[in-house]
Structure 1
Amino acid sequence: MLQNVGIIGIILGIIGRFWPVWLALIVLLTLSFMFRRRLGLYGHLISSGVGLAGVIIVGFWLFTALFAGIVAPFGPLEQIVVMKHALPGSIEPATGIPFYLGGDKLARDVFSRMIYGSRIVLAIAPAATAISLMVGCLLGLPAGYFSGRIDALLSFIANLVLAFPVILLFYLLVTPGIMDTPVPYAMAGFFFIFPILFLCALFYTGYSKQKAKLITLLGLTLIIGGYIYIGLVFDRDPLNLIHIEPNELNIFVAVAFASSPGVFRIVRGLTLDIKTREYINAALTRGEHPWYIMLWEILPNARGPLIVDTCLRIGYTTILLGTLGFFGLGMSSESPDWGTAIKDGSQFLRLYAWPALVPAIALMSFVLGLNLLADSLREQSLRD
């Protein structure tokens, strides 16, 4: 019979394990309030209760992912036979460390797997959303600005992707058979080139009259961007610093592919509205290049709705990753991501609720924090 620390021991033990997260949050919030007046939108964000709650929740999971190795008492794949389906609070005999949230069907610590699962979510969801944002901007800006045939062609492609059932689309893109083909790497090569193109266009149009600064920025973009591109797409990083597993790459590309049309439509609609403003006519009168107007006049004035959409889209992506993991698509079966953990725990849900309940609550809380941020940002954009 395993010893148990009890409910009070579980609560105090979990709070204690998160000590680096609490410390990081205290430092973040202290500095945020000290320099609130200089922090622009973020300063206004933490001034509201809803925004502050969102910052705390999202910050909690961000620091949890960063300090996962310290917070988690066991490894995500570490198995201790005697702890199979152990009750929450059961003490592991060899080390005397409790399984605070119980053990799963393979005798792994549910709490530790939840902690390490946050790393996967926070690595894929924001990065895939950022790629989608750059793709949507680079295609949506010219579609809305130039209109005509360019708009018709790009809008047709976007609508074609949006019209396809999302779950079926992901099933086709993330099934194991596709992973063994060049399709994921070809799609990765297409999507990962957009950040490089976006930054090059941004720097070229903004610093065309400052040759030294322009050459420096373009050189850094091409060198660093090219290095990351080669590592991600071709897995040829000579220093072995940039590497992503094929299944994670496939999920990443699939999420970016499905999200980009939505961003494209938002950027296109904002561009159609903003290009009629007086300051755009003034830029045209000065003889500014169209891409300068799009990237330095239209895009900054569309940042409010785009920031709100980005927060919501990261939440949608998190739910989507959980859905894919639940259906066993993409991630390996031993992955600690929250979707896979929910799937594994659901097989014994009537007898052992905690293996499925813990990652489900984690996923829900992270998405809740993002939604609170989005609501606060929306209110702030309406005031501005």
Structure 2
Amino acid sequence: MQLEYVGALNIVIGVLQRFWPVWVALLVVMVPSFIYRKRLGLYGELYDNGVGIAGVFICLFWLFTAIFAASIAPFNPLEQYVVMKDAAVGAIEPSSGKVFLFGADKLARDVFSRMVYGSQIVLIIAPTATAFALMVGATLGLPAGYYGGKIDTVLSFLANLVLAFPVILLFYLLVTPGIMDTPIPYAMAGLFFLFPIIFFFALFWTRFRKRPRLLVIQLALTLIIGGWVYAGLVFDADPLHIIHIDPNQLNIFVAVVFASSPGVFRIVRGLTMDIKTRDYVAAAQTRGESPWYIMLWEILPNARGPLIVDACLRIGYTTILLGTLGYFGLGLAPESPDWGTSIKDASRLLRQFIHPALPPTIALMSFVLGLNLLADALREQSLKD
């Protein structure tokens, strides 16, 4: 069957039109943020220079793309249209009359829709895994830097042991398909997912221990919400069926947290060793505050600048890592629309059909670029402060 095609201008207009929810959301968020930037603290300061604005724009663009993916994508990312196999950019699907804006891949799936839905996988795994790694690293790095001695020696040795292992080989061992048949991923998930509960439990206990009524409420919410999320993620036993993670995604999630936590640990440890010598820490010690109160409410808030910058860069590294794993066919399901898997599928016929490989490649590159620009802007602002 001879396919019909639309022109280049119509393709550009079509892409811009498909992203209309994103443009509206960007206007609603960025315009007021720019106007009232003086009142928005660190976030508002990002709008004082072009690098910060560009970083915020790119990151928000992909965030809103992930949120509105169902409205943006014209096709199901897994649905196949046999007549559209390897169709070029701008091909019109005969039965529906819809345009394959970026063409179709070798399995006759819409490249544009797969790129859009691929952002959901990245935006779910990369920031969440980084947040968990920050909690694990902070929970262990604070006492290591504050107490020193044997605690520091043992924890630093374990962190250096993980860091000394080649990252790619480490991930290969952790996300190979056979590993899911063992209890290792679930045991690691059960351990790592305890850290947020421990972190917030200690945070509220040290802050509100002299206000028992408020403390009981805070701890009860921590245990209820934390236990609910823990049951859904580790045991897939969420009674409301809201929190669920596929085994393949859980495997990657655990691997990212395991590999990233030692780096966060070393940063938090170094910052703690520096900040604990400051006058305000000595003042808190003089008031009789507990060590964990000092670590969580005096040291950690004053280490937020470098940690925020590191978090932005770490999300970018995780995004690249997810793409690498997908390219090698590890972790996620073969039909997954994640950017790495899409690049891998397209690369096999790259000399004949280049169009399926470009959109996911540019998407991955632009998101990482946005995170790096955001980190640069935050670093510049922290130096000014």
- Offset at residue 34 of structure 1 (A): 3.2
Distance in 1 (alpha carbons) for counterparts of 2:256 and 2:355 = 29
Q: Counterpart in 1 of 2:241? A: 240
- Offset at residue 48 of structure 1 (A): 1.2
- Offset at residue 33 of structure 1 (A): 2.1
Q: Counterpart in 1 of 2:321? A: 320
Counterpart of 1:370, as a letter, is: L
Q: Counterpart in 2 of 1:188? A: 189
Counterpart of 2:86, as a letter, is: H
- Offset at residue 111 of structure 1 (A): 0.2
User: Does the alignment pair 1:256 with 2:257?
Assistant: yes
User: Does the alignment pair 1:307 with 2:315?
Assistant: no
User: Does the alignment pair 1:271 with 2:272?
Assistant: yes
Aligned pairs for 1:40-79 within 5 A = 40-79=41-80
Distance in 2 (alpha carbons) for counterparts of 1:48 and 1:222 = 42
Unaligned runs of 5+ in 1: none
- Offset at residue 37 of structure 1 (A): 1.9
Deviations 1:150-196 (A, max 9, x none): 00000000000000011111111001110111111000000111111
- Offset at residue 31 of structure 1 (A): 2.1
| Secondary structure at the counterpart of residue 356 of structure 2 | helix
| Secondary structure at the counterpart of residue 354 of structure 1 | coil
Q: Counterpart in 1 of 2:290? A: 289
Distance in 1 (alpha carbons) for counterparts of 2:123 and 2:141 = 26
| Secondary structure at the counterpart of residue 118 of structure 1 | helix
| Secondary structure at the counterpart of residue 300 of structure 2 | helix
- Offset at residue 317 of structure 1 (A): 0.2
Distance in 2 (alpha carbons) for counterparts of 1:132 and 1:143 = 16
Distance in 2 (alpha carbons) for counterparts of 1:183 and 1:143 = 27
The count of aligned residue pairs is 384
- Offset at residue 236 of structure 1 (A): 1.2
User: Does the alignment pair 1:353 with 2:362?
Assistant: no
- Offset at residue 38 of structure 1 (A): 1.7
Distance in 2 (alpha carbons) for counterparts of 1:160 and 1:24 = 45
Aligned pairs for 1:188-227 within 5 A = 188-227=189-228
Question: 354-363 or 333-342: which moved more?
Answer: 354-363
Counterpart of 1:59, as a letter, is: L
User: Does the alignment pair 1:149 with 2:155?
Assistant: no
Q: Counterpart in 2 of 1:338? A: 339
Distance in 2 (alpha carbons) for counterparts of 1:214 and 1:46 = 38
Unaligned runs of 5+ in 2: none
Question: 289-298 or 201-210: which moved more?
Answer: 201-210
Distance in 1 (alpha carbons) for counterparts of 2:291 and 2:184 = 34
- Offset at residue 209 of structure 1 (A): 1.6
Q: Counterpart in 1 of 2:167? A: 166
Distance in 2 (alpha carbons) for counterparts of 1:68 and 1:342 = 19
TM-score normalised to structure 2 length: 0.99
Distance in 1 (alpha carbons) for counterparts of 2:59 and 2:97 = 32
Distance in 2 (alpha carbons) for counterparts of 1:284 and 1:39 = 32
- Offset at residue 355 of structure 1 (A): 1.1
| Secondary structure at the counterpart of residue 86 of structure 1 | coil
- Offset at residue 332 of structure 1 (A): 0.5
| Secondary structure at the counterpart of residue 204 of structure 1 | helix
Deviations 1:350-380 (A, max 9, x none): 0111111110100000000000000000000
User: Does the alignment pair 1:17 with 2:30?
Assistant: no
TM-score normalised to structure 1 length: 0.99
Q: Counterpart in 2 of 1:130? A: 131
| Secondary structure at the counterpart of residue 101 of structure 1 | coil
Cα RMSD for the two superposed structures:
0.6
Deviations 1:294-325 (A, max 9, x none): 00000000000000000000000000000000
- Offset at residue 35 of structure 1 (A): 2.5
Distance in 1 (alpha carbons) for counterparts of 2:76 and 2:194 = 35
- Offset at residue 212 of structure 1 (A): 1.5
- Offset at residue 8 of structure 1 (A): 0.4
| Secondary structure at the counterpart of residue 260 of structure 2 | helix
| Secondary structure at the counterpart of residue 270 of structure 2 | helix
Q: Counterpart in 2 of 1:29? A: 30
Superposed structure 1 runs of 4+ greater than 6 Å apart: none
Counterpart of 1:35, as a letter, is: Y
Counterpart of 2:276, as a letter, is: K
Q: Counterpart in 2 of 1:113? A: 114
User: Does the alignment pair 1:94 with 2:109?
Assistant: no
- Offset at residue 214 of structure 1 (A): 1.1
| Secondary structure at the counterpart of residue 328 of structure 1 | coil
